[in-house]
Amino acid sequence: MTLLLPILAVTAGFALLVWGADRFVTGAAATARNLGVSPMIIGLTIVGFGTSAPEMLVSAMAAWAGNPGLAIGNAVGSNITNIGLILGTTALAAPLTVASVTLRREMPLLLAVMALSWGLLADGELGTVDALVLLAGILLLVAWMVRLGMNSRRSPDPLLAEFSEELPAGLSTPVALAWVGVGLAVLLASSRLLVWGAVELARLLGVSDLVIGLTVVALGTSLPELAASVVSALKGEPDIALGNVIGSNLFNLLGVLGIPGLFGPVAVDPAVLRRDYPVMLALTLALLLMSWNLRGSRRINRIEGALLLLAYGGYQVLLYYGSGK
C-alpha cells in the first residue's frame, strides 16, 4: 500500500472531525440555552467537553482497534499542541489579556490533574482502576464547573459576557437536537477513518503509534481549539481563547487519557514519562507564569507567544530524532 490512501484518510478524518465537533457543540449549546441553562455553565461544560470530543472518540477508537499507544500519544500530544502551537499562534495574532477569575482558578487545577495522571502512569501501566479514577475526575470537574457557573451570577466574571456573545441563538430545540445527532454521527465515523489512516501511516513510515499520536493525530484533533482560540482572540474575547485551551487540557488528561484503560491494562511507553510529560509540564508552568497575576489582569504578549511556538517546534525536532527517523 502506498502512503496516498492513509494520507487521504487522515486528511478527510480531520476535516470531518472539525465539522462534526462544531455541529455537535452548536446543537448541544443551543439546546441547553433553550432550556434556560446559564451561558457561563454552557461555556464551561458543554463547549469545553465538545472541543475535546474529537480526542475522546479517537482515543476510544484507537484503544478498541488495539492501538493504545496512539490514544495515549493523542492525549499528551494534544495538551502540548494546545499550549505550544495554539496559544502561541493565538498570542501572535492578538495578545491575550487574562482577566477571568475562573481561569486563574482552573490553571492550578490543571497542574493538580497533571500530577494525578503522572502518578497513575508512573508504574508503567494504565489499568482499569487508573482509568476509572481519571474518568471519575471528569464528573468532579463538571460539577465544579457548574458550581463556578452558578456563582458567576453573584460575582461577575468577564467570561460570562464573552460566552453570552458567542453562544448560538435562534435555533429551535428540535433543530438543535438534530445537529447534536448529526455531529455525533460524523464524529464517530471520522474518528474511525482517522485512526485507520494514522495506524497505516505509522506502519508504512516505520514509527510507533505513540509518535503518530503525539504529532499527526494530536495536531489534527486540536484543530477545533486552534480555530476557536484564534477567532476569539481576534474578536476581543481573550478569556474564551485561553479557556478553550485550559478546559480542553483538563478533559484530555481525565477523559482522553483514561479511556484506553477501560479496554484492559495498557503498557505505557517509558518515553511518555521520560520525554513527553516533562515537556507538557514545562509548557503548562510557562503558561501559568505568563497568565497569573494576583493583582488583576495579565497580558500574554507576542514575544511570549513566539517563545511558546519555538518550544513547540523544538519538541517536534526532539520527536523526530527520538523516533530514529
pLDDT tens figures, 254-271: 988 999 998 888 889 999
179 inside domain: no
| CA proximity to 78, closest of 193, 208, 244 | 244
Q: Tell me, what CATH number does 279's domain have?
A: 1.20.1420.30
285 inside domain: yes
Structural domain boundaries enclosing 306: 48-157+197-322
Q: Residue with C-alpha cell 497542574?
A: 111
pLDDT, mean over the chain: 82
Query: What is the β-pairing status of strands 266-267 and 96-98?
Result: unpaired
Q: What is the pLDDT of residue 117?
A: 94
- Kindly report the pTM of this predicted structure: 0.83
187 inside domain: no
Query: What is the chain's length?
Result: 325
182 inside domain: no
104-163 pLDDT, tens per residue? 677 888 999 999 999 999 999 999 999 999 999 988 988 887 776 676 556 555 555 555
Q: How many domains does the chain have?
A: 1
Weakest mean pLDDT among 47-51, 59-63, 244-248: 47-51
Q: Give me Rg for the CA atoms of the chain.
A: 19
29 inside domain: no
Q: Which of 39-48, 57-66, 69-78, 182-191 has the highest mean pLDDT?
A: 69-78
222 inside domain: yes
5-41 pLDDT, tens per residue? 888 988 898 888 878 877 887 887 788 778 777 666 6
How far apart (Å, rounded) are the C-alpha atoms in residues 135 and 52?
14
96 inside domain: yes
227 inside domain: yes
Which residue type occupies 47?
Answer: V
Weakest mean pLDDT among 94-103, 192-201, 285-294: 94-103
- Residues 183-192: what's their mean pLDDT? 85
